[in-house]
A and B are shown apart, each in its own frame.
Chain A
Amino acid sequence: MADALVWLVALPLAGALATLLLPRAATAVALATGLATGTAAAALLYGVATQGPLHYAIGGWTAGLGIALRADGLSALLVTMTALVVLAASVYSSAYFGDGSQRARFWPLWMLLWTALNALLLSGDLFNLYVTLELLGLSAVALAALGTTTAAVQAALRYLLVGLLGSMLFLAGVSLIYTGYGTLDMATLAAVVEPGPVVWPALALMTAGLLLKTALFPLHFWLPPAHASAPAPVSAVLSALVVKAAFYLVLRLWVDVFADAVTAAAAALLGVLGAAAVLWGSWRALRAARLKLLAAYSTVAQLGYLFMFFPLLHALPPGPARDLAVGGLVILALTHGFAKAGLFLAIGVIQQRSGHDTIGELDGTAQRLPATTFAIALAGVALIGLPPSGAFLGKWQLLAASFATGQWWWIVVTAIGSLLAAAYTFRVLGRAFGHRPYPNQPVTVAREEWPALLLGAAAAVLLGLAGAPVWKLLEASA
């Protein structure tokens, strides 16, 4: 099963090269390698579930010299989510880009992005993480720049600069660690790290870089324009996966590798920024005039919830209560991934069919595109955190941990944020339900409508009803 680790990086990389060399058959090649990568992800998930954490030293070189890949429950779950989201978005992309000239540029970058995501999630070494982070940032910027408008290019340029700054900060932190401890292997570091003047500045620099990349309030300024002007499938992956990859690293560093060095005040700071992100992001989403902008601000808000877990995890002693909270955090992140990807794909359908995504002019959408409207509703249910979505279980754990630690203020923020999410979701749905004298259409599910519908259903139903294995898998931590 450990071979799956290599395949997960090698297959999309091979796909990237193949689609570059065979532009005519790019779509078919990409979908075929995508399916193969998806199979490898399933194998990895199965392997971690049955055998516990896996690792693989490329070329047989031991840690410190060679490239080590490793997977525990957390990375296996995120790799699987990545595979499912990218696959769904790939199917949609095959219809979205048609035969245009964009298609030839799209597929190699798309597969490269997937390579970077998998490599990042499976890396066991801080320097490799830097490399994958850089690769991820560059391929993401190139994809965002595929948008044809001037605004898209401007947003992509800003995205590039922010990404580079973030990577530089991260690298600076990494070099401090190397100076102090002489190793960058995360498992080794976790055993030797202790609070003090070496770790704190290093962790602060790395975190600052990652927060910039994951767009935590107030460092979110670059995200809405970049995500709102990219092509729909790209927006889906940027919002669902790319920002989450940076978040995954923050989680790894704070809860895993440097857990002993984290202070209560620092954890509280992340929580406060997260709360501010929830309130500000939800508010801006409510005021947004366009669907894509709404979805982008909603991402800012949803990432905020994830950061609100940090002070709670710090306050909870290791034990069942803390494990429950970690599971809640992960299932919230997974649900958001599926829901946001589904939402962006559905918005893409509306944008292509109606020629716009202005919320004020959506009347009659429920009649013309019932399946897509339903996909938006499913994604909305997950973003609000209503049952039976996975986010409901996540928010339940957030509330429970807040009560258990006496930090009741997060409850207030969660309640307000969720009600704002309901307001922005139903602002759209209310519009869509508006009656227009269109002919009555049966529920048609066109090929391009399926991916959004399935992603929405995964977030709003599947993760909520069949989410229990998430907690089980997280027990298999490295």
Chain B
Amino acid sequence: MNLDTWLPALVVASSLLPGLVIFFLRESSHRLRTVLNLGGAGLKLLLVGLMIWGVFHQHVYETRWTLAPGLDLVLHADTLSVLFVTLSTVLWLVTTIYAVGYLEKSPHRSRFFGFFSLCVSATVGLALAGNLFTFVIFYELLTLATYPLVAHRGTPEALRGARIYLTYTLAGGALLLIGTVWLHVIGGPAPFVEGGILSRLPVEYHPQLKVIFVLLLVGLGVKAALVPLHGWLPQAMVAPAPVSALLHAVAVVKAGAFGIVRVVYDVYGVQFADQLGLLTALGVAASITIVYGSVKALSEDNLKKRLAYSTVSQVSYIALGTAILGPVGTIGGIVHLVHQGIMKITLFFSAGNYAETLGIHRISEMNGVGRRMPATTLAFSVAALGMIGVPPVAGFVSKWYLGLGAVEAGMAAWVMPVLLASSALNAAYFLPVLYRAWFRTAGAAWPAEHITAARFETAGALMWPPVVTATLALAAGLFAAAPYSPLEWAELIARREYGL
């Protein structure tokens, strides 16, 4: 068995197979389920570590399987896929620990963790997809795997949220598929190649290529929650907290953003996309989304919904970075793929802790929660400050490179105001929350206190994950220049992309 051809498939299988076994476990076999979950996550982390080392040393890992003549399922590890795979793998491990603690004693855990594993397998497959055809397959699989997670509780609101989610994503998926088939018919298979492949097509295809780009962008924009395609995201908030965390940080939303990055850089090629005038369209859509999401977040009292609108806004930084021509802007967009993930997952873990421990769902109920749950609130604060862009948290690095890239590309005139406005709005919707949590005094009683007899402020499996991810967010900013940091890796991607 040759590891070079099997490693990508093994990375996908390390969560897929445990997931399939978990479906058949009895509800009561708690220990075996946890062993399978964590064993799969640990094994995946090991395999991904090997992959990072190999890709850095120009090793080629590729699994290829023919589904039909001319249609190959390709899993291929390049710098960009490795970045996303690593993010998914690390955050999956943390989220699994969190979910085990969160779902303690709740029904249907085998079903939940089965689909949870399928969801991560789909995300990893999508990250490793070596051509657009494979990407579409995993993109749709991700939709299928997340539906039962959103609908998990089976309440009318959960089912409604899941239905809206599905309506948006399947319609988007259909457009993505149509665009992909069209591209296939005029340009042959669309392998992901640094610098893109479409610029070699004759000029008479250019109008068609523009239409195809719009189809792909709309299809991907649904998951990336580009305005006006974001309507499902606040509705999907009915899902259990670990699902929201994963959906917002790595799985669904990020899949859309990652797809946009892939299409622009590795299918069209960023220079060619700019030549066709497509980057401007993308930049405008991203800017509108950034500002709109922040404005909507301001008026939400429900904590998870405010975070959801914040995601709408923050994920579009990635699209914005993609729309900025030049290596620096590219770095800013790509590094935010990671930074937004670790910061947003921290925020959702913390929100889940408040709800699970004290029954807090609304911001107006958060007065004085910092004294009752200091570790969780500290993690929340670090992530929130990072979102605003306060140094030295990771978010600052992203915004710095985006701004610098815009100046270099001569786009500062409109990118800078967007960045500034959004940072001001971020501050306006996060700082009052922090103020309430730390400086207001608590009311007589919490809305519904569940966990009182724990050793820490809440169950250990709930408290440690946000602390860990907040530390990661801080470290990603503090040690941004260290080797193998997200920033360094993003620079490597940009160098290979622009052939520097």
Query: Which A residues fall within an 8 A CB radius of B?
Result: 320, 323-324, 327-328, 331, 366-367, 370, 374, 381, 384, 386-388, 392-393, 396-397, 399-400, 403-404, 411, 415, 418-419, 422, 426, 429-430, 433-436, 440, 442-443, 445, 464-465, 467-468, 470-471
Contact = CB atoms under 8 A, between A and B. Distances in A.
Contact of A386 (B144, B156, B162): B144
A436 B155 CA distance: 9
A443 B23 contact: yes
A396 B181 contact: yes
B111 A403 contact: no
Contacts of A468: 66-69
B126 to A, nearest CB: 12
9 contacts: A331-B68, A370-B111, A396-B71, A403-B186, A404-B185, A415-B178, A419-B174, A443-B111, A468-B66
B108 A367 contact: yes
Contact of A430 (B25, B143, B163, B184): B163
Interface string B393-416: 000000000000000000000000
A426 B171 CA distance: 14
B20 to A, nearest CB: 11
B347 interface: no
A465 B65 contact: yes
B210 interface: no
A442 B147 CA distance: 21
Given A465-B65, A468-B67, A442 B159 contact: no
Nearest to A427: B163
B82 to A, nearest CB: 24
The B interface, classified by DSSP as helix, strand, loop or mixed, is helix
Contacts of A387: 136-137, 140-141
Contacts of B173: 386
Contacts of A436: 154
Nearest to B181: A399
Given A419-B174, A430-B163, A464 B153 contact: no
Contacts of B108: 367, 440
A386 B122 CA distance: 14
A435 B163 contact: no
A436 B156 CA distance: 11
Contacts of B73: 465
Contacts of A442: 25-27, 110
A381 B143 CA distance: 11
B137 A388 contact: yes
Interface string B191-203: 0000000000000
Interface residues of B, number: 45
A10 to B, nearest CB: 35
B392 interface: no
Interface of B: 23-27, 65-71, 73, 107-108, 110-111, 136-137, 140-141, 143-144, 147-148, 151, 153-156, 159, 162-163, 166, 170-171, 173-174, 177-178, 181-182, 184-186
A219 to B, nearest CB: 29
A389 B262 CA distance: 25
A345 to B, nearest CB: 20
Contacts of B166: 422, 426
A133 to B, nearest CB: 32
Contacts of A415: 174, 178
A435 B110 contact: no
Contacts of A445: 24
Nearest to B143: A386
Contacts of A397: 68
Contacts, number: 103
A443 B69 contact: no
Given A388-B137, A403-B185, A443-B23, A471 B110 contact: no
B181 A400 contact: yes
A327 B67 contact: no
A433 B170 CA distance: 19
A445 B24 CA distance: 9
A368 B67 CA distance: 36
Contacts of A366: 111, 154
The A interface, classified by DSSP as helix, strand, loop or mixed, is helix
A443 B178 contact: no
Given A324-B70, A367-B108, A433 B25 contact: no
B151 A433 contact: yes
B136 to A, nearest CB: 7
B185 A464 contact: no
B27 A440 contact: yes
Residue with the greatest number of chain B CB neighbours at <10 A, chosen from A393, A397, A403? A403
A404 B108 CA distance: 47
A150 to B, nearest CB: 36
B163 A426 contact: yes
Contacts of A324: 68-70
Nearest to B170: A422
B68 A393 contact: yes
A370 B171 CA distance: 27
Contact of A403 (B26, B107, B141, B182): B182
Contacts of A470: 68
B154 A434 contact: yes
Contacts of A320: 69
Contacts of A422: 166, 170
Given A381-B144, A393-B71, A440-B107, A400 B162 contact: no
Nearest to A331: B68
Contacts of B156: 434
Q: Which 6 A-B pairs have the closest CB atoms?
A: A435-B154, A387-B137, A442-B26, A403-B185, A399-B181, A433-B151
A443 B68 contact: no
Contacts of A384: 170
A440 B107 CA distance: 7
Given A399-B178, A426-B147, 12 more contacts: A328-B68, A386-B141, A386-B143, A393-B68, A396-B68, A399-B177, A426-B163, A433-B154, A440-B107, A440-B108, A443-B110, A443-B111
A442 B27 CA distance: 6
Contacts of A367: 108
B174 A418 contact: yes
A445 B71 CA distance: 35
Contacts of B137: 387-388, 392
A409 to B, nearest CB: 13
A328 B143 CA distance: 24
Contacts of A433: 148, 151, 154, 159, 162
Given A327-B68, A367-B108, A464-B67, A419 B171 contact: yes
Contacts of B140: 386-387, 392
A403 B111 CA distance: 40
